[in-house]
Amino acid sequence: MRTPPPQTLTAPTPPSTQTRTPSGLSGPSLRRPWTTLLAAVLVVAGAVVLLMGGLRTTPPNEQLVGDSARAEALRSSADFGDRPIENAVVSPVGPGRLDETTATAITTELRSAYTGLTGVAGVGEPQLSADRRVLVLPVALNATEDTQAEVVEPMLEATRRIAGAHPELRVGQVGPGSIETEVGRQLDADFRRAELISLPVTLAILLIAFGAVVAAGVPVLLGLGAVVTALGLTALASRHVVSVDPNAQPMVLLIGLAVGVDYALFVLRRAREERAGGRSAAESVVIATRHAGRAVIISGLTVVVAMAGMLVAGGLFTSIAVGTVLVVAVAVLASATVLPAILTLLGDRVEGLRLPWLGRRRASGGGFWAALAGRVTRRPLLWSALAVAVLAGLAAPALTMRTALPGPESLPRSFATVDAYERLAEAFPQDGTTVDIVVKAPAQAAPQVRAALGQGFRAALGTGQVVGEQPAIRPSTDSTVHVLALAVPLTTSDPALEQVVQQIRDDVVPVVSRSAPDAEVRVGGAAAATDLGRWMSDRLPLVMAFVLILTLAVMLLSFGSPVLAVATVGLNLLSVGAAYGVITLVFQHTWAERLLDFTSIGSIASWLPLVLFVTLFGLSMDYHVFVVSRVREAFGAGASPREAVRLGVGRSAGVVTSAAIVMVAVFSIFATLSSLELKQLGVGLATAILIDATLVRGILLPGVLCLLGRRAHTGPRWIPTLHH
């Protein structure tokens, strides 16, 4: 077993071992700070140039998997002779109905406005619902599925103009092009707002933490540079390696800003602590780089390992993994190279532009967290048991978590397209959620295929899950592909949809296949949501195993203690479980529906558990590694295991609290975005970081370290240890 050297806490470490220039990544930066800064500026400038080239995003059809992916491929390969359809939707304001005169007049006005309009290929015939509440006018766009969003704006403008002229009517428009346009515009606005909010909020928190403008500005500068660089590299990768999921960009921004600021914060606070203890400015930077910088590299490596777990899942997670891995790696590299160079050049000027009303903040080993750690170390078993009980209680709702891929109903009701979609789907269910039977066969078999689909429609009605009176069969122009749309009265995020899709595959597909034995029969449409959701759920155990094993290895090599590595994994699992429980409690029940303007909630986004797991498992390591490294330093200086815990927690409390507040504030910005999925992600991340930095790192970790005693600091001699 490895045993620490017998030193007293007050014995000074020889200058030759404390102030020598590090030989790793930071060494050249400390020796040539101006060269390092120039290189950093050039890298960021290059990233801006790359970002100006734009990102190639992943089309929804390329994210599909399994049977539904093949169904979409068959549909896309055929020409159905039609064009993308937008629907003008009209209904009276209030409970009334559309009389004949009003329906005729508004139809004439809409037809006149759309005919000959740029991007419009033709106007169809109006349809009035059976209860005369909703009038729908289909309009064909002169575009393809890939270009419909580019040509739909003139029609949207005409719809808005007519809606303004008829306050007694609700005139709206819905279709793939209009939804994509409105959602895309809102996502861009959200992204810009996130940028505008996150920077001043982060700067304000750091001003309170440091009490000096220059010191507060350095971490923000590092974080912003890491984000810009990572976004530029992600843009390059999207054009040459893998396209980017639309959710990747805001995730890179907020995760990059959070970790970039935190890593710089860890190093800068340690440098200020050493300076306050009497070290010279140069010595303080060297010591901070050696100790806090090493902790940053270890925690950053763990975050990268966790984010890389998404590469194991593959598919749409690949692009999110690439972006987040890049931004964390860049943040670590910046903290190890650019930050030491900046601190070397600034010296004591890092305390410039002090805010006098905040006073001069000095690091100490006292305060609330040190006092709490003292209580925990006296009765570690009791405190640990209480903390575990609280975390288990928070995690309990996760046992009932339901996941689904959200559809239009997950968008805010304030969206004009969502309002139109709701009215359209209620009046004409066949235009809402449909499960499609896609059949490919030789053209000469077309009569047999149509007859088979007719039998399939009757079988579908027999399941009791499908609505409609006549089969809606669309043949391709060459009669080689036929599509039967089965309308189901469910939203795509309804957990019951998966069972309906499975019943159609079990009861309807065999009927069609028997009647057209030489045809290829696939199930698509809304089935794509259930297939992709199941695929994501199936990938979660594999990703969890990958992350757990590699995290265990990283912690073992970092601190050399097998029991500490196992305890780390256990604590992180408790944090993630608590986060799962909170988002389930908030979004799967009525809390969020009462507070948020969404049509339907009731489930968690299918991709969220996996992304939340890898993100939280990685980020929670920041505080864990930093606290444990300070405890290890105190133990190595001769403190007893219990005293080392009290000292380590007290000395790291300030920086961990500041870092946690930054992360919670930044991740809370997710909850202000329009997308329900990003709201769920923001609540999960912010809650988990808050729990992790308080309950776990303030109570449970000190309790566990005390219970482990010397075993938390020692291990087999053959294990190479990064933190001595």
What's the confidence (pLDDT) of residue 185?
79
Q: What is the DSSP annotation of 240-269? A: HT--B-TTHHHHHHHHHHHHHHHHHHHHHH
- Looking at the fold, whether 260 and 282 belong to one and the same domain comes out as yes
- Looking at the fold, whether 272 and 323 belong to one and the same domain comes out as yes
Please, which pLDDT band fits residue 90 given cuts at 50, 70 and 90?
A: very high
pLDDT higher than threshold 60 for residue 600:
no
Give the Å distances, CA to CA, from 214 to 118, 195, 196, 289, 349.
54, 21, 20, 19, 8
Please, which pLDDT band fits residue 24 given cuts at 50, 70 and 90?
A: low
Place of tokens 């795509």: 492
The average pLDDT across 98-126 equals: 90
Q: What is the DSSP annotation of 383-437? A: HHHHHHHHHHHHHGGGGG--EE---GGGSBTTSHHHHHHHHHHHH-GGGSSEEEE
- Looking at the fold, whether 190 and 169 belong to one and the same domain comes out as no
10 Å Cβ neighbour count for 260?
30
Report the chain's mean pLDDT, rounded to a whole number.
81
Place of tokens 């912690």: 555
The average pLDDT across 533-550 equals: 86
- Looking at the fold, whether 520 and 549 belong to one and the same domain comes out as no
Please, which pLDDT band fits residue 109 given cuts at 50, 70 and 90?
A: very high
Residues 6+ apart with CB under 8 A from 106: 90, 98, 135, 162, 166, 169, 171
Write out 552-576 in H/E/C secondary structure.
HHHHHHHHCCHHHHHHHHHHHHHHH
Q: Find out whether 563 and 384 touch, Cβ atoms under 8 Å.
A: no
- Looking at the fold, whether 521 and 536 belong to one and the same domain comes out as no
The average pLDDT across 645-666 equals: 81
Of 690, 686, 538, 604, the C-alpha closest to 398 is 604
418 domain-assigned: no
Burial, 334: exposed, middle or buried (Cβ in 10 Å; 0-12, 13-18, 19+)? buried
Q: Find out whether 112 and 171 touch, Cβ atoms under 8 Å.
A: no
Coil, helix or strand for 208?
A: helix
What's the confidence (pLDDT) of residue 677?
80
Please, which pLDDT band fits residue 159 given cuts at 50, 70 and 90?
A: very high
Please, which pLDDT band fits residue 267 given cuts at 50, 70 and 90?
A: confident
pLDDT higher than threshold 80 for residue 163:
yes
What's the confidence (pLDDT) of residue 592?
57
The average pLDDT across 504-510 equals: 92
Give how many domains the chain has, as a whole number: 3
- Looking at the fold, whether 513 and 400 belong to one and the same domain comes out as no
More confident residue, 54 or 104: 104
- Looking at the fold, whether 160 and 194 belong to one and the same domain comes out as no
10 Å Cβ neighbour count for 482?
27
Coil, helix or strand for 439?
A: strand
What's the confidence (pLDDT) of residue 161?
92
Q: What tokens appear for 724 in the block? A: 């001595």
Place of tokens 């270890």: 298
Which residue type does 719 have? I
Place of tokens 């995290």: 551
Domain boundary, last residue among 481, 501, 525: 525
Residues 6+ apart with CB under 8 A from 121: 83, 140, 141, 142
Residues 6+ apart with CB under 8 A from 385: none
Which residue type does 211 have? G
Burial, 429: exposed, middle or buried (Cβ in 10 Å; 0-12, 13-18, 19+)? middle
- Looking at the fold, whether 682 and 576 belong to one and the same domain comes out as yes
CA 108 vs. chain centroid, Å, equals 46
5 domain-assigned: no
Give the Å distances, CA to CA, from 305 to 141, 310, 545, 555.
47, 10, 12, 12
Domain boundary, last residue among 525, 552, 577: 525
- Looking at the fold, whether 238 and 325 belong to one and the same domain comes out as yes
596 domain-assigned: yes
- Looking at the fold, whether 248 and 340 belong to one and the same domain comes out as yes
Residues 6+ apart with CB under 8 A from 684: 579, 580, 582, 583, 608, 612, 616
Please, which pLDDT band fits residue 246 given cuts at 50, 70 and 90?
A: low
Please, which pLDDT band fits residue 363 given cuts at 50, 70 and 90?
A: very low
pLDDT higher than threshold 90 for residue 42:
yes
2 domain-assigned: no
Q: Find out whether 478 and 78 touch, Cβ atoms under 8 Å.
A: yes
The C-alpha atoms of residue 105 and residue 135 are separated, in whole angstroms, by 12
What's the confidence (pLDDT) of residue 7?
36
474 domain-assigned: yes
- Looking at the fold, whether 148 and 202 belong to one and the same domain comes out as no
The C-alpha atoms of residue 453 and residue 436 are separated, in whole angstroms, by 11
The average pLDDT across 146-152 equals: 79
What's the confidence (pLDDT) of residue 12?
36
CATH number where 262 lies: 1.20.1640.10
- Looking at the fold, whether 560 and 640 belong to one and the same domain comes out as yes
CATH number where 162 lies: 3.30.70.1320
Q: Find out whether 58 and 313 touch, Cβ atoms under 8 Å.
A: no
For the chain, percent of residues with pLDDT exceeding 90: 14
507 domain-assigned: yes
What's the confidence (pLDDT) of residue 137?
92
10 Å Cβ neighbour count for 375?
14
394 domain-assigned: yes
Rg (CA), the chain: 30
Q: Degrees (nearest 5) of the Cα angle 375, 377, 378?
A: 65
Please, which pLDDT band fits residue 430 given cuts at 50, 70 and 90?
A: low
Question: What is the side-by-side order of every strand in the sheet holding 520-525?
Answer: 467-475, 481-487, 434-440, 520-525
For the chain, percent of residues with pLDDT exceeding 70: 89
Q: How many CA atoms lie within 13 A of 417 on its CB side?
A: 21
Q: What tokens appear for 41 in the block? A: 């500026």
| Helix axis angle, 33-52 to 338-346, nearest 10° | 130
Q: Read off the pTM.
A: 0.77
Burial, 614: exposed, middle or buried (Cβ in 10 Å; 0-12, 13-18, 19+)? buried
Q: What tokens appear for 527 in the block? A: 């089935």
Q: 489 is in which domain, residue-wise?
A: 434-525
| Helix axis angle, 213-240 to 176-210, nearest 10° | 150
CATH number where 518 lies: 3.30.70.420
The C-alpha atoms of residue 674 and residue 687 are separated, in whole angstroms, by 19
Q: Which of 265-269, 564-568, 684-688, 720-724 has the lowest mean pLDDT?
A: 720-724
Of 164, 98, 210, the C-alpha closest to 661 is 210
The C-alpha atoms of residue 519 and residue 455 are separated, in whole angstroms, by 15
Q: State pLDDT tens for residues 464-496.
A: 888 877 888 889 888 899 999 898 888 777 778
147 domain-assigned: yes
The C-alpha atoms of residue 675 and residue 184 are separated, in whole angstroms, by 11
What's the confidence (pLDDT) of residue 483?
92
What's the confidence (pLDDT) of residue 111?
92
Q: What is the DSSP annotation of 322-354? A: HHHHHHHHHHHHHHHTHHHHHHHHHGGGGG-SB
Q: Find out whether 579 and 687 touch, Cβ atoms under 8 Å.
A: yes
The C-alpha atoms of residue 349 and residue 339 are separated, in whole angstroms, by 14
**What is the chain's length?**
724
Domain boundary, last residue among 152, 174, 196: 174
The C-alpha atoms of residue 22 and residue 458 are separated, in whole angstroms, by 76
